[in-house]
Structure 1
């Protein structure tokens, strides 16, 4: 097993994993599919928000709301050694969400499946804070992975890189245009209405862009998370297709 496979394996498990935040959610989801497949882990991908159809097309999704038909389609995909994907439909260029209740039901019927749920949207920005209505996380979720892009450290809070900038500014207690510091980013991670709002199960912080920021600055950020209830912190080089895990820190 390669070191990358070993690192990703620490995130792969049966049950529902919800992925929230910004700066690499869909990348993390795709990597969990890839390495889960190498381990022979049956995997189902879905969402409680919207995803671009182009991002999920390679998994040949089942579209519809009939549970029995969806279950049959998932079985067929897994029998062929592929990842299964289930969405309620297509709206323009995006696939549409499933009710959290349907995802919970699929988990209860198939507890050995890894069910990966992209649980909020960020419009491809590097950072976000959720609105009151999000994320939508199934009640049976046993892991929530929160994603942030470390490239925000030293970068100004602007709509170019930040989704829901008003919420982010309020949590960080800094105005739009302020330069993000380690303490500000840690505040977003730890705040009750921040990155892990409504999270369930163990909480894993996944940081992309590890190779783009001076490590003394990242260490300052990590020090501010020392007393958090995070189960794990993952530091990954790159962003999107180039994402590779560099370090895994087990917090608890």
Structure 2
């Protein structure tokens, strides 16, 4: 393995020559990672759409240039004249909990096909701010033409117990990882949730490229934990296009290293 410090768009092999729809699933930093990527793409002169098929907490004003809330298909018409170097957010409505609720995946697919934006970034999963999760039957909700799927796991899950406090849907997590409630989460269990067909990348199309983002790499210990997980994933022969260890903190800068086979 080789480690390289890279810009965010390089971590996910994003090309400036083609338009992409990218979905984020899992837990432990999806929203932060998504908005950091959108900011970087905007700085490159690109036009970005941010949305969700589930729900996200209402974004801070500094994260976007324009926000449109509309639950109808007429929302597409409102997007046509958006300028370059902008981040636009769309949602269907705002909940009582101040969450921006999602758009139907069919509408996102239609927007992408009209090539209005250079990049569409979709939060396609919910985790109730837990660092790790197992998806329920109805999760995640990934648009069919998603070119890349980024599966996020918080490394701060390591060493914690499998319970409601640390894991979103702990019973399902136990089923997938062959564990019991209150067992300790280790690198092997995280690897199982990554590679299992009912785990992190559940519902991802065969055509979509898969990237694992091991977030909250805050020190040398968590870096070594990330390397061990990556090694286990590689040895499992699970097909993945990139494994990234990162610290995608909201207010600070970020640091990330791409683990290359």
Q: Same fold (TM over 0.5)?
A: yes
Contact 1:126 1:161 in 2 (8 A): yes
1:74, 1:85 within 8 Å by CA — same for their partners in 2? no
The residue number in structure 2 matching 1:6 is: 7
The question of whether the paired residues in 2 share the 8 Å contact of 1:22 and 1:149 is answered with yes
Q: Gaps (5+ residues) in structure 1?
A: none
State the 1:195 CA deviation.
0.5
Using the alignment, how far apart are the partners of 2:138 and 2:253 within structure 1? 29
- Aligned-residue CA RMSD (Å): 2.2
Distance 1:26 1:130 in 2: 17
Q: How far, CA to CA, are the matches of 1:108 and 1:235 in structure 2? A: 32
State yes or no: 1:90 paired with 2:94.
Answer: yes
Query: Distance in 2 between the 1:56 and 1:127 partners?
Result: 27
Corresponding residue of 2:211: 204
1:220 deviates by: 2.2
Contact 1:21 1:127 in 2 (8 A): yes
Spell out the pairing of 1:91-240 with structure 2 (5 A cutoff): 91-92=95-96, 93-110=98-115, 113-200=118-205, 201-212=208-219, 213-226=221-234, 227-237=237-247, 239-240=249-250
Structure 2 distance, partners of 1:126, 1:8, is 23
Would the aligned equivalents of 1:49 and 1:119 in 2 still touch at CA under 8 Å? yes
Unaligned runs of 5+ in 2: none
What SS does the aligned partner of 1:241 have? coil
SS at match of 2:122: strand
- Once the two structures are overlaid, the 10-residue window that deviates more, 214-223 or 225-234, is 214-223
Whole-angstrom distance in 2 between the partners of 1:243 and 1:233: 20
How many residue pairs match? The answer is: 247
Change (3 A) 1:136 1:71: same
- Structure 1 residue 24 displacement after superposition: 0.1
Deviation of the 1:112 alpha carbon: 5.4
Choose between structure 1 and 2: higher helix proportion.
1
| Bigger relative contact order (CA 8 A; separation at least 6) | 2
Deviation at 1:194, TM superposition (A): 0.4
1:245 maps to what in 2?
A: 255
Partner Cα distance (1:243, 1:181) in 2:
28
